[in-house]
């Protein structure tokens, strides 16, 4: 799992584009405790950093900013779905409905193209509007839900972090989103507590 920055936005790679999108916020007990997307411009910067809609540019207006609420609603529904699944809880039907509505929109724009070398490439017929930046995210998350990788999804064990990631280690023992960010901090805390208990 890698962590990088795009301006003021922290990019947390969870091994799936849908998880990366969810990781643009940090949650605790279902509530957002840290946020990296504050407006549509932040979302476009995040997408650009991950090469979604390369060279996308848009003149933002009030309707785009109101659309930002839809972006955040989708992200929260995706968070609710995946955390319910990995914790063996019942998935909220409203979250499924919200995601399915986005999936229908993404599917209606999906098409194939054949490049000059004869390779078939998936793309979207409407790739210049703001909404289309979410289509690869939605499809990636759908593919995760349908795959065996969903059984490998974990949340960071750090007290200060709940980022999601796919644990691809052989013994499924990964505890933290990244050793550099949370692993070292948690190990230092454990070392401090152990040392304190000895005294």
- How high is the mean pLDDT of the chain? 82
Q: Kindly tell me if the per-residue pLDDT of 197 is higher than 60.
A: no
Torsional sign, CA 10, 65, 16, 28: positive
- CATH fold for the domain made of 3-198: Jann2411-like fold (1.10.3300)
Q: What is the pLDDT of residues 80-91, one digit of tens each?
A: 999 999 999 999
- Of the listed ranges 2-6, 62-66, 113-117, 173-177, the one predicted with least confidence: 2-6
169/173: higher pLDDT? 169
CB-neighbour burial class of residue 72 (10 A; exposed 0-12, middle 13-18, buried 19+): middle
Q: Kindly tell me if the per-residue pLDDT of 184 is higher than 60.
A: no
- For the chain, the domains span 3-198
The predicted pLDDT at position 9 comes to 58
Q: Cα separation of 22 and 72, whole Å?
A: 9
Q: pLDDT confidence of 141, banded at 50, 70, 90?
A: very high
């Amino acid at each position: 799992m890698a962590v990088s920055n795009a301006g003021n936005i922290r990019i947390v790679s969870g091994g799936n584009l849908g998880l990366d999108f969810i990781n643009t916020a940090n949650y605790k007990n279902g509530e957002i405790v840290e946020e990296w997307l504050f407006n549509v411009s932040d979302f476009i910067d995040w997408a650009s950093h991950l090469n979604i809609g390369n060279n996308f540019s848009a003149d933002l207006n009030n309707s785009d900013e109101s659309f930002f609420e839809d972006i955040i609603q989708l992200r929260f529904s995706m968070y609710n779905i995946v955390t319910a699944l990995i914790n063996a809880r019942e998935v909220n039907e409203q979250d499924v409905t919200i995601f399915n509505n986005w999936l229908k929109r993404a599917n209606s724009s999906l098409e194939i193209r054949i490049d000059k070398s004869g390779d078939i490439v998936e793309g979207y017929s409407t790739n210049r509007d703001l909404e289309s930046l979410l289509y690869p995210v939605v499809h990636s998350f759908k593919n995760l839900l349908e795959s065996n990788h969903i059984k490998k999804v974990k949340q960071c064990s750090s007290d200060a972090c709940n980022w999601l990631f796919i644990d691809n280690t052989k013994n499924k023992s990964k505890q933290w989103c990244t050793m550099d960010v949370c692993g070292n901090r948690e190990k230092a805390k454990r070392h401090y507590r152990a040392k304190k208990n000895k005294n």
